[in-house]
Structure 1
């Protein structure tokens, strides 16, 4: 079998829709296709348009350009053998060719909220009309170069299925198509129910209806994951385009029935869409503020490592890493972080990180406001993930209105002193199955206020802060309550997992952490410090009753001091580390996990310098890898070094040794606090190599194997992984 390059690419549209595939242009996942439309943003993601199967005829010779796996293990055709190059920046581009011709294909997914370049504050009260605001579409452009006339045949492969599942031939599933002038409107009909209408239009060519099913596509990545791995796709017909040298054909797949007065699709439409996206990002991140300075001119003389690289189909990750090393050597730089890359390279990587961060910012229709997709391909938005990622995604990038909108929305939905961990896709109450989301909300609110000094917003949200405080003190769902004896937060609910280590198999949590988890109580201590500081601030600014607020500030400070004293219960002097949990019967869990590092990384820390240094020394020796922190010491009998196998096997490894990239952020913050004069014992190069050249090009994976070589696993693009790198790389 060919040595295929199965690294992946990802396009998103700010509404939850996405397109994704591989460098070799072979589909390996259920989540690969050119238009997954989020019909109820950011949810209801439905595969409508899988891909175009292309062939090219030149001088009577026909070559198939596609590459497909089939359920019987065969691969046919093998168009990847004709691939001459791949580029990811600014949009995915493939180049096929032989001696006398070359065919280039590019894809772009335009931003989906038409008429807006940035999210508003988002009070949760806005009303938006789907048809006037949302647009889910993908543009494709082919360009032919050669010495002779060519005929390009493009066969449509389509579907109508949830993005988690595969489509299968069924006597109840049919597709209607209505031909128009250089367009075709398509809609599934399943057991008499009409599906999502969408249409495909093109700038030139003749469309031939030719309905046929293609059975038994194979999806090898799903085979590895122990999930459904076979797919049937429907083809309603194909497009024939005669191309002269230098000709292009542009196609647009768009959700909805054709507009009676559509915009004109021209050969320039594709370039205009790419330029519009570049302009949108420039406006958000201020890349063009103040005109073209010296740094901007320097970038003209050096393309980014991504745009300067042709990803050949057989280029290995190791070769890509060597290529990056060559680029670094050309810039006369030395190993990071003791020295930085040259200004132009650093700026280019920074822009790539900002572009990656924007892919996770989406609009949620059910709350009429902004939220954060936890990861692609398969995650929705999660409260805890959003709040942890928010400083990197919005505060470092100075998207303060976006941060404010997300914080306001989550505060608006505070119930029983708890912040939602997930929102429903339709009408209904959010899910409040988290002990820490409320505490992360307070911590992130504190970071927002430190960055903006927005005390009016504090006054607005302070009742929510007090609601959380009162609920934790008096008790709320899941028996979450402050212990009256030591002031620490505990919880007790069997069959659920309320911390970030949240895997449950059946009714059994894999990492049961009921009782008093260490990072929860570190968050509680930091929250009390924030409350004291804020009550004092509000009393001085006359946002309330000064005398009452001053007394509250004193009470919060006293309680914080009490909790700080009680945090010493977590100290294990024999190990020089923190117990992970204290059970309800006062038993201690002495496993070495990264939650101790989390406890050191918060804005307010309740542990001494000596303790912090000892904790970091042990975490460095047992948990630190080039891609983040392991979730369990390799010497622990419960350690699992590889995240692989069927769903249950993977779940059992998820927090039992698997490396999480986002944990590098807390580690760095803790190190800078307790070892401010010492160099960070972490080299950014492997993680940057991963970002630029591995897994999902231009993003960072969710997790990695605990064992070397730390293979990337899980979601190919994870919000808090990218956010924590942004928070510390510059």
Structure 2
């Protein structure tokens, strides 16, 4: 695979639906395809449309433009050898060519949340409805979703050409591969410039969808293609073979300068749909840039940088991230920065464009959840759903820094509404039912993030609305709640003890055995508890001044919270290890100390209210800098620890055992920076942003940041290719 560029791209639509693939246009994962539709947003993701296998005939010579891995290890055809360039901005764009012709393909996935009928939400141009379903004045109003992808081909050459596009389709859960079976059939109904497709599996009808096009003649030609190979799944020790079905192909005769646009859309054909025209694709790209512009307040001049441009010179002049496969564009004085030729990595962008690309990346994680009728945050692509802890940690970077305050408020309001027994959900169900409450820290992160929201907005009415939830959390932690979560009356610290579960962010469980149990009193949990008590004291005092309740009662509450905070601050010294100059990771139920060097000590220094001295903070950071800091984030365990694992690879169990045992987590760079700025305010940050920004621009998933990296050099990116809190923490600190 030396000539194959398997870096990845990602398109999303705000519903959990997505499209993804590689620069070389070869599918390497189960999660690669052009239309994964979220049947129960953002979940129930199902592959319907894998891709179009393209070939081009010019002067009687036929060239195949596709590239496929096969189960026997072969690569065929080898269309990647004709690939001249690839662009990621504003939408994925490939250019194949030879001496006398050039074919361009672009993809766009329009925003899928249309809104509700007769509801106050605007829909397309705004974020999803932020009103919790139970509080919505019109909870039964129908919500309109639209899952679709547009594909645009443009031909340039000295002679006419014939483009042949073969459909490859499926209907399967996005975690699993499709296998040809006598029980699996696909029906197709051909209409005028469109075909409607639907799977029938063991007599059960699947999801209807249709493909339509502006030009061409469709030929039904049903055939199975067996044993596509998926090498990334092979590396992960998972099933790695796929069968795809082709119902037929489209033939398009193209004169030089001609173009054809196709649209794959979930649902049966509708005569009320707008007509597909040659302008539809450009209009969809412009609509998406307008939507982002409205969200982030980009100036008109900034928005123009993201307008679709049809020629390679225009893209280069716009200084957009470009990856030249075969050759570099001729030099020109109009280029503000040089374009880095393939295979070198790391193009540089002006700060304003880098900032816009980071904001664009952040928007991919904001989705609508049908079960709560409100916004949530996908933790990562391709395989994650939304998680409470991840959402709350990511929210400052995803919503507060970009000033998406309504989004932040809606998420906080939703989580607050579902608070039960003092716990905030760590996951919502995909169907009707109670959320999942399996986190000791989600409630504390909710208070911390609520505090940051209030500091940013001064929205004290919202504080008054949410203060009963705050008090519910406080009372539950003090009095005791699920998983034996309770404040120890002797020292005021939060403890928990429940077999077979892992309730902190280090949450891997294999069978019924947590890899990093952390029972007892974890250090970052108690740092969060201290910060929460400080917030409660401030809020009770403020509410007493604003007469949101009984002034005398609130003042007494503020005094009590302050006294408890001071007690906890004193008890936090139990975590101090003077021999090591670091914090114990946990105080276990039998009062033993865990002295492993983990990043949780840095987390404890990074919160709005910190209970450790300057001297302690500096010593902790000094050791974390030498033991945990890498160019991509913090290791989850010191390399000198006998339990350290330097590479995240192997089968599922092997990877799970490595997940928090040395793997680098990109999101932890945010807490490290906040702690550094607190304890070393006059010293330069000992962290070079460039490797992480190079990764964002030109590695793994182009235009996003991976979940994790190997602890060992060269710190290979691993895990999810795009992770919400990784992007969020960069946004929070890169300004």
Distance (Å, rounded) in 2 between the aligned partners of 1:649 and 1:90: 38
Distance (Å, rounded) in 1 between the aligned partners of 2:639 and 2:322: 38
Pairwise CA distance, 1:296: 8.4
Give the match for residue 198 of structure 1. Answer: 209
Distance (Å, rounded) in 2 between the aligned partners of 1:205 and 1:518: 64
Structure 2 residue matching 1:102: 3-state secondary structure = strand
Distance (Å, rounded) in 1 between the aligned partners of 2:268 and 2:565: 59
Distance (Å, rounded) in 2 between the aligned partners of 1:130 and 1:249: 37
1:293–1:240 Cα change, 3 Å? closer
Give the match for residue 254 of structure 1. Answer: 265
Pairwise CA distance, 1:133: 1.5
Give the match for residue 717 of structure 1. Answer: 722
- Structure 1 residues 403-552: aligned runs within 5 Å: 403-552=408-557
Give the match for residue 348 of structure 1. Answer: 353
Q: Which runs of 5+ in 2 are unaligned?
A: 115-122, 329-334, 341-346
TM-score of the superposed pair, with normalisation by structure 1: 0.94
Pairwise CA distance, 1:116: 2.6
1:691–1:536 Cα change, 3 Å? same
1:92–1:598 Cα change, 3 Å? same
Distance (Å, rounded) in 2 between the aligned partners of 1:131 and 1:228: 39
* Contact kept in structure 1, 2:85 and 2:326, CA below 8 Å: no
Pairwise CA distance, 1:118: 1.6
1:294–1:428 Cα change, 3 Å? closer
Distance (Å, rounded) in 2 between the aligned partners of 1:203 and 1:143: 12
* Contact kept in structure 2, 1:18 and 1:37, CA below 8 Å: yes
Pairwise CA distance, 1:251: 0.2
Give the match for residue 282 of structure 1. Answer: 293
1:117 aligns with 2:125: yes
Structure 1 residue matching 2:225: 3-state secondary structure = strand
Q: Give the one of 387, 390, 401 matched to 1:382.
A: 387
Give the match for residue 580 of structure 2. Answer: 575
Give the match for residue 160 of structure 1. Answer: 171
Distance (Å, rounded) in 1 between the aligned partners of 2:685 and 2:446: 28
* Contact kept in structure 2, 1:55 and 1:66, CA below 8 Å: yes
1:302–1:61 Cα change, 3 Å? closer
Instruction: Count how many residue pairs are aligned between Structure 1 and Structure 2.
Output: 707
* Contact kept in structure 1, 2:696 and 2:705, CA below 8 Å: yes
Distance (Å, rounded) in 2 between the aligned partners of 1:714 and 1:523: 27
* Contact kept in structure 2, 1:23 and 1:313, CA below 8 Å: no
Give the match for residue 150 of structure 1. Answer: 161
Give the match for residue 336 of structure 1. Answer: none
1:141–1:307 Cα change, 3 Å? farther
Give the match for residue 311 of structure 1. Answer: 323
Give the match for residue 268 of structure 1. Answer: 279
Give the match for residue 658 of structure 2. Answer: 653
CA deviations 1:101-155 (Å, max 9, x no partner) are 0000000000001243222432333467897520000000000000111000000
Q: Give the one of 399, 405, 420 matched to 1:400.
A: 405
CA deviations 1:130-183 (Å, max 9, x no partner) are 975200000000000001110000000000000000000111110000011100
Distance (Å, rounded) in 2 between the aligned partners of 1:527 and 1:147: 69
Pairwise CA distance, 1:310: 3.6
- Structure 1 residues 12-27: aligned runs within 5 Å: 12-27=12-27
Q: Which moved more, 1:456-465 or 1:117-126?
A: 117-126
Pairwise CA distance, 1:308: 3.8
Distance (Å, rounded) in 2 between the aligned partners of 1:501 and 1:426: 27
Q: Which moved more, 1:101-110 or 1:126-135?
A: 126-135
1:678 aligns with 2:683: yes
* Contact kept in structure 2, 1:55 and 1:64, CA below 8 Å: yes
Give the match for residue 93 of structure 2. Answer: 93
Distance (Å, rounded) in 1 between the aligned partners of 2:189 and 2:572: 68
1:247–1:296 Cα change, 3 Å? closer
Distance (Å, rounded) in 2 between the aligned partners of 1:130 and 1:10: 31
Give the match for residue 10 of structure 1. Answer: 10
* Contact kept in structure 2, 1:80 and 1:313, CA below 8 Å: no
Distance (Å, rounded) in 1 between the aligned partners of 2:211 and 2:509: 43
Distance (Å, rounded) in 2 between the aligned partners of 1:92 and 1:412: 39
1:20–1:130 Cα change, 3 Å? farther
Q: Give the one of 604, 607, 613 matched to 1:602.
A: 607
1:705–1:460 Cα change, 3 Å? same
CA deviations 1:356-410 (Å, max 9, x no partner) are 0000000000000000000000000000000000000000000000000000000
CA deviations 1:520-577 (Å, max 9, x no partner) are 0000000000000000000000001100000000000000000000000000000000
- Structure 1 residues 51-62: aligned runs within 5 Å: 51-62=51-62
Q: Which moved more, 1:720-729 or 1:132-141?
A: 132-141
* Contact kept in structure 2, 1:88 and 1:306, CA below 8 Å: no
Give the match for residue 338 of structure 1. Answer: none
- Structure 1 residues 571-650: aligned runs within 5 Å: 571-650=576-655
Give the match for residue 332 of structure 2. Answer: none
Distance (Å, rounded) in 2 between the aligned partners of 1:130 and 1:112: 17
* Contact kept in structure 1, 2:43 and 2:430, CA below 8 Å: yes
* Contact kept in structure 2, 1:217 and 1:230, CA below 8 Å: yes
1:175–1:295 Cα change, 3 Å? closer
RMSD between superposed Cα atoms in Å: 2.2
